[in-house]
Chain A
């Protein structure tokens, strides 16, 4: 197996891109990634996407994107793992390069949520859950996570204010990120006074609905120097699953797929949670962010609120969480989110993050969830020397 590098990355601002289609969005990100290094050719395109079949009436998007980007006859296909599609595509691309099947792969994700009309977007996102045993009863993506948040608040005696503070930090970070969909600061009251969506989750506990695309170019680590001065090593990458049905889990407040994927990725990279300088974590909702931080081993179970209040997750703290603003502020173009996260960590480790640059970060982690914790991918990146 060969070691693998990220040569360069590209992304669009996450936004409601009314003027751009699915294919145009991906090509914009892909061209930026291709212009960021001297990549000599593209052997394959492996893209993450969740909702195109439902909202854009489009399947076979591997071929669609290869055609639009002008890289026909390269191998091209789509990977789907709900909100974790982006990181799942990067994992597949890693495997393809590592095994020697392909040398230069363009990977990433694209999502065009604003092509959905009315309740179709909510319905499409809900399909990350078990259609026969969860969706049937009128559950949605928000309401399943609300079940977890209510349980967490009751079990650990944590008030809504604690979760609101995580959203406040995300917006503070995202306000500096030119790619963020919601680049403005908020207060605790903004969250507490926003409309209730599914108790106790209110509007400002949620990531916004938006469109976006992120792309990464992968190649063998040994060859990366020839094509880029700012490549980054993928030193660990792993995925794991849990029961798709939330209620089948023995402990509702531990997302086992995160624990297992993190253990595997950390072992592959030879690191422990204490070595992580910067992490892009999956905060679809404030509760998801809290469980992600805990299950990645970045703090004890039930203690994320105390650590957050101590400044441990802010700049200069123990580990900087979501300098991009996370899903909450940067945005959550679902099937592209995992690709954004990995691209953002790569930018941090090659000093390309501009105003939201974390100082001297050596090791970074990206963590991407699909469903209500049923599928997780964890990626460890290391600054190259």
Chain B
């Protein structure tokens, strides 16, 4: 079960889609890192990721991990955002069989899962076909 402070701590990335950008070489880091993956600089500033992109690859999950049993089948994908950053996300608001590689998608705020009967309800950005 996820603790409330942990959920709260991870809000900037999950719900505001914030990563880091290196002030030396411009490389975007999502998830945020302590040092730039490309040049090793630790001069990183908060960077808001674009909310539009296209599907690079996807899969239809039919055998879920604990907590996602009620959601199957659902689509997990890698989306390349407009600035070239890749993110692993859920693709939503679409029949799983209709998802295609290259499909344009946009971010939308959605429920991810319920953490048991007593836990918190977790929300984050997912991606849906562009409207």
Contact = CB atoms under 8 A, between A and B. Distances in A.
Interface in B66-96: 66-69, 71, 74, 76-78, 86-90
A197 B101 CA distance: 19
A201 B61 CA distance: 10
Interface residues of B, number: 37
A252 interface: yes
A130 B33 CA distance: 13
Interface stretch (A67-75, A138-146, A289-297, A311-319): A138-146
A138 B78 contact: no
A374 to B, nearest CB: 13
30 contacts: A119-B69, A122-B63, A133-B31, A133-B88, A134-B88, A135-B65, A137-B89, A137-B112, A138-B74, A138-B76, A143-B76, A144-B76, A146-B59, A147-B58, A147-B78, A150-B57, A151-B56, A154-B101, A196-B62, A197-B63, A198-B61, A198-B62, A199-B60, A245-B31, A246-B78, A246-B88, A247-B86, A248-B30, A249-B86, A252-B56
B65 A137 contact: no
A144 B76 CA distance: 8
A133 B61 CA distance: 17
A123 B66 contact: yes
Given A132-B10, A154-B101, 17 more contacts: A118-B66, A119-B67, A122-B65, A123-B65, A138-B61, A139-B65, A143-B59, A147-B88, A150-B101, A151-B57, A154-B57, A199-B62, A246-B88, A247-B86, A248-B37, A248-B86, A249-B86
Nearest to B79: A247
Contacts of B126: 137
Interface of A: 118-120, 122-123, 126, 130, 132-140, 142-144, 146-148, 150-151, 154, 195-201, 243, 245-249, 252
B52 interface: no
B76 A147 contact: yes
B64 to A, nearest CB: 6
Given A133-B13, A243-B37, A147 B31 contact: no
A332 to B, nearest CB: 16
Contact of B64 (A140, A147, A245): A140
Name the 6 nearest CB pairs between A and B, nearest first.
A119-B66, A146-B59, A151-B57, A247-B86, A138-B68, A199-B60
B108 interface: no
B103 interface: no
Contacts of B71: 138
Contacts of B113: 138
A322 to B, nearest CB: 25
Interface string B41-57: 00000000000000011
A150 B78 CA distance: 11
Contact of B88 (A142, A198, A200, A247): A247
A139 B88 contact: yes
A122 B13 CA distance: 25
Nearest to A149: B59
Contact of B66 (A120, A201, A247): A120
A68 B9 CA distance: 42
Contacts of A146: 59
Contacts of B62: 195-199
A249 B84 CA distance: 12
Contacts of A120: 66
B66 A122 contact: yes
Contacts of B76: 137-139, 143-144, 147, 198
A284 to B, nearest CB: 15
A147 B75 CA distance: 10
A147 B74 contact: no
A196 B78 CA distance: 20
